[in-house]
Amino acid sequence: MLGVVDGRDGAAVRGWLKTRPRWWRHRVQVVAIDPSAAFRAALHPLLPNASTSVDHFHLVKLANDAVTAVRRRCAWETRDRRGRAVDPAWAHRLLLLRGADTLSVRGWAKLKYILAVDDPSNEIGAAWGIKEQLRLLLATTTVADARAARAVLAGYVTTADMAETTKLMRTLDRWWDPIEVFIQTRVTNAKSEAANLTCKNLKRTGRGYRNQGNYHARIMLYSAARMAA
């Protein structure tokens, strides 16, 4: 787990990879990472045979962040203040981040109400639609379907003409090759993220560790105990 490596930048990743045997590094075929340019730059020189897959969870999070940014901006432009509990879009802000396929009939009705009464510019609805189109893109199983979904998404972004969603589209364009790798392989870093959360919780329980070796040992002991159970 890179979560136990001292440092979270490209140099730390390169340092850890250099300690791996050459035969091990040449056998790695796919690496799943967060959309981090520093991590991606550190991988290729030391993993020459590996393709990079970007984790789809983090891409959806970027889209959700864009929806939130649009909602906040619209609140300031409409009311000259931040959102409050009396504002439908703020009161149900988590609903805007839910996937369309997870909404119940009641949820759909509430979403339509929010967009009808608290989105006079239709910008929140546009950002929500762009987020959902990205989710459809990431759910495709062939590169051809992904590219078709990308063209639709680009059209939505151009029509919406909002800084938040334009920035999102630029990020997707920069990471398109790793997105195609994900579409083809469905490789994610979900399991490593779960393990990383365990590492962080151990660090919080210990109120921090000054000695990196003790931190490593605590994680290994905890992991061994779980595997034995």
Q: Which class for 154: exposed (0-12), middle (13-18), buried (19 or more C-beta within 10 A)? A: middle
User: Given this model, what pLDDT does residue 192 score?
Assistant: 76
Domain edges within the chain: 7-54, 56-182, 189-229
Contacts of 79 (CB under 8 A, 6+ apart): 87
pLDDT digits (tens, 9 = 90+) for 1-49: 555 565 666 788 888 889 999 999 999 999 998 898 888 888 888 999 9
